[in-house]
Amino acid sequence: MNKRRSIQAKQGRAGWMFLAPATILIFIMSFWPMIQAFIISLKKGSSANMTWQEPLYHNYERILQDTTFKTAMGNTFLYLLVEVPIMLILAILLAQILNNRDLKFRGLFRTMVFMPCAVSLVSYALIFKSLFATQGLINSALMHLGLISENINWLGTTATARAVIIIGLIWRWTGYNMVFYLAGLQNIEYSVYEAAKIDGANGWKTFWSITVPLLKPTIVMTVIMSINGTLQLFDESVNLTNGGPANTTITMSHYIWNMSLGQGVAKFGYASALAFVVFIMVGILAFINMKVGDTRD
């Protein structure tokens, strides 16, 4: 008995020795910056001249009165509520189509759908900015088709600028999520679909009764990743619209960057408070999604 306990103790120590480097790195690279960000969020000033706020929660109290941050938060959640469902529905439908064994050139089509994800964030934002310019290709095409009588200022009007950001997000990230669904579909035995077909189930019923339930873990994962990514949306706001017109398309991450580095005077304390609020939002939404997607008893 003592010998068995000694072996188990050695195995336990060996396990912790293997885990220790990764655990230390995760703490240094992830948890310690979170702790530091919270401490800085209780301070004011910039760089080495930071002092404690009076009261300590002043930066968080300021957030409640910050109309620009409220606009940024509203924009971010608007993008999330519109873009994420459309993107994930398109991704799962494309994965279903491209998983068909009888489809010719499947590899080519899969590559074409995934390609936008491989494009640099800055590059694709600049391309979209050129396409949707007042004298850009989109306006020229619409004018040629007779759908508009004068050029639309896509990036200079709030509603259309938001629409361009949403279109850009859907274009770039649909293929990325499709890959996850495609991998999930390829783990489903084809005999399951054949049995459903023999039982008389049509394509739509098979999709809802077999594909969606079996892909539930993958769907939950992509929803969490998409929400996390959208709440931290930065590149599109900066490179497409620069938050304009008049900060009506700015996102929370873009506003945090403005507060810390983008407006000349660094407000690290307030920027850290904003970042910590976004961190809490991401954590809460991820927790809710995990609970909703957890099918265990």
Q: Could you tell me if residue 239 is inside a domain?
A: yes
Residue ranges for the chain with pLDDT beneath 70: 1-5, 47, 263-265, 293-297
Domain that holds residue 128: 65-293
| The pLDDT of residue 242 | 87
Q: Could you tell me if residue 54 is inside a domain?
A: no
| The pLDDT of residue 75 | 94
Number of domains in the chain: 1
Q: Could you tell me if residue 38 is inside a domain?
A: no
Q: Could you tell me if residue 124 is inside a domain?
A: yes
| The pLDDT of residue 295 | 58
| The pLDDT of residue 296 | 55
pTM of the model: 0.85
Distances in whole angstroms, Cα of residue 224 to Cα of each of 190, 197, 217, 247, 282: 28, 33, 11, 27, 9
Q: Could you give the CA distance from residue 98 to residue 145 in angstroms, rounded to a whole number?
A: 32
Q: How far apart are the first and last CA of the chain?
A: 36
Q: Could you tell me if residue 19 is inside a domain?
A: no
| The pLDDT of residue 72 | 93
| The pLDDT of residue 293 | 64
Q: Could you tell me if residue 236 is inside a domain?
A: yes
Q: Could you tell me if residue 34 is inside a domain?
A: no
- pLDDT > 70 in the chain, percent: 94
**CATH (domain of 183):** 1.10.3720.10
Q: Could you tell me if residue 227 is inside a domain?
A: yes
Residues 238 and 81 sit within 8 Å (Cβ to Cβ)? no
pLDDT digit string, tens, across residues 49-89: 788 888 888 999 999 999 999 999 999 999 999 999 999 99
